[in-house]
Amino acid sequence: MINFEKFKDLITEARNLTADQARAMIRQAVDNADGRTLINLMRAVERPIIEEKSRELFRARKLDAFGQRSALPFVEFVNKVSSAKGETEEKLTFIQNCIDGVYFNAKSFTGAKSGNFSSYVKTPDSIMKQLYTWFLNWKPQIDANGTVAVGRMEAVMIFLAVDGGKGGDNDTFGDAFAGGNLIEVKTGGGHMGKNGKSMYNSKKTWFVTECKKIIPEWANSKKDNEILGVLSGTGKQKNAVILEINEALKKARKKPSDFWKSFFNEVYGQRIDDKGLLDDPNLVNISAYATALGFITYKEQTRFDMVSVLSTTNAGGQKFGDFVNWHTPGDVIDTFKANLWSMDYSLSWDGGGRVDGLSPRLYTGKKGYTL
């Protein structure tokens, strides 16, 4: 392809020619060029125009620092638009449509409880049809240092929502802004928040003491570490202790929901409507309730408006683009009861997720739990 520097040299030479000489030079170049060269020539001619229009998009998304020829996200975008088949005017219209939010129904997406992300991305013209798959999978490096890429589909929120923008790069912002919401995106296998280890670990003594107080017959027959098995070991081992505690509570004419709400109130400092999850819970029910409480604490930590659990793969029973959106802790519980998301068994005295989280690892879709 004729690069920009060669294009500038051509323009400089043309300035020293008369109109007839310039016309003759261009005709000769065109007559002698093969098809590929002609295509490259046209791309070189249109590239400065596409670059300037692309800068408008980056400015509209408050990404001025990345709207430069030296910035990788800018180069990736311009290259992709330039390589699309179509007239220059079609490509410029495409970029304007990005600015105007024509391709992404952000309000409907952020207002939905669940669905598939792709259904909110429109392809009304030839250029968008060509770039649709690329846009869904594009991971531009637009963090503060220009070294970390946003996740799949986050670029759609940032660049295609009429009010799109990048969230912050510290603990007080989400991943993307779209549809009037600051969105924290959790891809399949991610967990929420931090400080879960200190929050849970500090309640071991409370848990043992409370069990000995309200279900003494059961608790006094156990060693302390056996009681603490409620959040230790495998999922099957944790679940067995939870079920024992439930039976002991019912035998003592205590409501399991009261006990578990009291425990999680100690951990998270919150009580919410469990919507029946804790009436006779297993590990999965307890983890879902903990996730709803973790959502509240996480929101306090980062100040986002909503969490979107978004699948970026077709593996593990997940479908690419499937999502659940949470604006409230009630959304967390409602979508769980509707079998729209699932989790692993990672909730423990060390918190949830991989390290120190406020919730287990989260996934979209229904999971066949084995406990």
Q: What is the pLDDT of residues 271-290, one digit of tens each?
A: 999 999 999 999 999 999 99
Among 32-41, 106-115, 217-226, 357-366, which stretch is predicted with the lowest mean pLDDT? 32-41
| Greatest distance between any 2 Cα atoms in the chain | 104
Q: How many Å apart are CA 287 and CA 341, to the nearest integer?
A: 12
What separation in angstroms does the CA of 368 have from each of 7, 187, 317, 361?
Answer: 60, 20, 10, 15
List Cα–Cα distances, 65 to 58, 73, 276, in angstroms: 8, 10, 50
The whole-number average pLDDT for the span 184-195 is 89
For the chain, which residues make up each domain, given as ranges? Answer: 196-364
Mean pLDDT rounded to a whole number for the chain: 89
Instruction: Say yes or no to pLDDT of 209 above 80.
Output: yes
Q: What is the mean pLDDT of residues 253-269?
A: 97
Average pLDDT of 45-55?
92
Q: Which residue has the higher pLDDT, 34 or 88?
A: 88
Mean pLDDT in residue range 81-108: 97
CB-CB contact of 347 with 359 (8 Å) = yes
Mean pLDDT of 249-261: 97
How much is the pLDDT for 318? 82
How high is the pLDDT of residue 30?
Answer: 66
Please determine, for residue 145, whether its predicted confidence score (pLDDT) is greater than 70. no
Q: Which of 54-63, 148-157, 170-179 is the least confident region?
A: 170-179
Indicate the pTM of the whole model. Answer: 0.85
Q: How confident is the model at residue 50 (pLDDT cuts 50, 70, 90)?
A: very high
Q: Over the stretch 317-353, which tens digit does the pLDDT of each residue have?
A: 789 999 999 999 999 999 999 999 999 999 999 999 8
> How high is the pLDDT of residue 369?
80
At residue 23 the predicted structure's pLDDT band, cuts being 50, 70 and 90, is confident
What pLDDT was estimated at residue 14? 58
CA neighbor of 361 nearest in space, from 282, 288, 283, 278: 288
pLDDT band at 172 (very low <50, low <70, confident <90, very high): very low
Average pLDDT score over residue span 77-93: 96
Spell out a b/e string for 248-266, using b for 16 or more CB atoms within 10 Å of the CB, else e. bbeeeeeebbebbbebbee
Per-residue DSSP letter, 306: E
Q: Where are the alpha helices (DSSP H) in the chain?
A: 4-15, 19-32, 35-60, 72-83, 88-100, 106-111, 126-137, 154-160, 196-201, 204-214, 216-219, 224-227, 235-251, 256-268, 283-302, 329-337
Please state the rounded mean pLDDT for residues 148-174: 82
- Of the chain, the percentage scoring pLDDT greater than 90 comes to 73
For 208-212, what is the mean pLDDT?
98
pLDDT over 80 at 149, yes or no: no
Within 8 A by CB and 6+ apart from 2, the residues are 10, 40, 41, 43, 44
**Cβ distance 141 to 149 under 8 Å?**
yes
